[in-house]
């Protein structure tokens, strides 16, 4: 890297998580998250009374209990893992580029905010900023809010930084390799199940019919992983988890599939969650705990959850590659 090149910084972005596993903090987080029209796009006249009158009065206490069941001594798994990803990416970029690059973390909802991440990069002298949302598959409900928030924050700046926002990396060879490696490592330790389930976060079906490429990108990721692992079509399935609300979501739903598989003769499954860059409530509780109970009570015999990529070396290598590829010309 040339000493004369203007310094650049990296903002890693994830969705966010409550500050503590208590009902008031969960409520604060849900209020901000579920008030974003990119996440729930119903008319405010319909949605606001449902959100404020029903959801925010009933869901926080219930969900706080679930968070308590997965919370670590150091904090929310999503936060702890995101901080490790930030620190390890910084070390990796320092080694590969030969210069210390500021790397900060910002959450779309809750803390640390996107504003604090951008301010910190600016105070470290970054004049060019690469924003890397930690979602491999683009969705209007996850990646688009990052574009919205960044544009909104820049409105108050006199001198805006040069910027690039990564849209997606669902088919990046290093991502596919990292996922396949995580499966192979799991098989070496625990053996291979009859079927590998790739459970992606779901979205309302309407978002897809209106143009969100998310489902097609999930399908591509899954096909590439299956190909990399040499699986036959009978050996893998795609499903969609974490359905929320009354509207129709994309199918098959993970919970329904888990209940039906034993009846189809599939008694052992490995399950992974490629849409999540780190383990969180939706993987550790819904998939690792709840999914297991559903599958076993439906007649399944063996259920193995495969950790998300988290701070695994292959994941950090992928993130460093994305930074290096997308900031060429900046150093």
242 near Fe ion (CB under 5 A): yes
Chain positions 46 to 85 lying near ligand L6N33NVT, rule: CB under 6 A, are 59, 63, 76, 78
State which residue, 242 or 254, has the beta carbon closest to Fe ion: 242
Distant-in-sequence contacts of 47-54, Cβ < 8 A, 24+ apart = none
Closest CA to 111 of 28, 8, 40, 22: 28
Answer for which of 212, 286, 294, 304 binds Fe ion (CB under 5 A) is 286
Give the one residue of 11, 12, 13, 40 binding ligand L6N33NVT; rule: CB under 6 A. 40
For residues 96 and 322, the answer to whether their CB atoms sit within 8 Å is: no
CA separation for the pair 38, 176 (Å, rounded): 28
**Which helix (DSSP H) or strand (DSSP E) does residue 87 occupy?**
helix 77-97
- Residue 298 CA to residue 281 CA, distance in Å, equals 23
Which of ligand L6N33NVT, Fe ion, none interacts with 286 (beta carbon under 5 to 8 A by kind)?
A: Fe ion
Please report whether residue 304 would count as binding Fe ion according to CB under 5 A: no
The contacts of residue 233 (CB under 8 Å, 6+ apart) are none
Instruction: Check the annotation: does 282 bind a ligand.
Output: yes
Size of the site for ligand L6N33NVT (CB under 6 A): 23
- Of 163, 92, 81, the C-alpha closest to 122 is 163
Asked if 195 interacts with ligand L6N33NVT (CB under 6 A), we say: no
Q: Does 251 bind ligand L6N33NVT (CB under 6 A)?
A: no
- The contact mask relative to ligand L6N33NVT for 270-309 (x = CB under 6 A, - = no) is -----xx---xxx---------------------------
Residues engaged in binding Fe ion (CB under 5 A) = 242, 282, 286
């Amino acid at each position: 890297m040339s000493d004369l090149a203007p310094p650049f910084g990296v903002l890693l972005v994830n969705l966010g998580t409550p500050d503590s596993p208590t009902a008031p903090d969960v409520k604060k987080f849900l209020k901000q998250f579920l008030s974003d029209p990119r996440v729930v796009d119903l008319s405010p006249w319909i949605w606001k009374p449902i959100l404020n009158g029903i959801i925010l009065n009933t869901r926080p206490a219930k969900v706080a209990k679930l968070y308590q069941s997965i919370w670590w001594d150091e904090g929310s798994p999503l936060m702890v893992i995101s901080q490790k990803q930030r620190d390890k990416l910084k070390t990796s970029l320092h080694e590969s580029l030969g210069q210390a690059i500021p790397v900060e973390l910002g959450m779309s909802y809750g803390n640390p905010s996107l504003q604090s991440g951008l301010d910190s990069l600016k105070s470290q002298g970054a004049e060019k900023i690469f924003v890397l949302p930690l979602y491999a598959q683009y969705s209007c409900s996850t990646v688009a809010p990052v574009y919205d928030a960044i544009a909104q924050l820049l409105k108050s700046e006199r001198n805006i930084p040069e910027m690039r926002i990564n849209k997606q990396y669902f088919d990046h060879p290093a991502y596919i390799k990292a996922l396949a490696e995580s499966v192979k490592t799991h098989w070496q330790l625990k053996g291979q199940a009859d079927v590998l389930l790739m459970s992606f976060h779901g979205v309302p079906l309407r978002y897809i019919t209106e143009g969100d490429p998310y489902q097609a990108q999930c399908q591509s990721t899954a096909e590439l992983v299956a190909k990399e692992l040499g699986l036959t079509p009978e050996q893998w399935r795609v499903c969609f988890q974490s359905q929320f609300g009354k509207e129709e979501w994309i199918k098959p739903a993970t919970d329904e599939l888990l209940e039906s598989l034993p009846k189809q003769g599939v008694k052992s499954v490995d399950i992974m969650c490629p849409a999540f860059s780190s383990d969180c409530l939706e993987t550790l509780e819904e998939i690792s705990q709840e999914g297991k109970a559903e599958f076993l009570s439906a007649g399944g015999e063996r259920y193995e959850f495969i950790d998300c990529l988290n701070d695994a070396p292959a994941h950090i290598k992928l993130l460093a590659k994305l930074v290096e590829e997308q900031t060429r010309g900046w150093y």
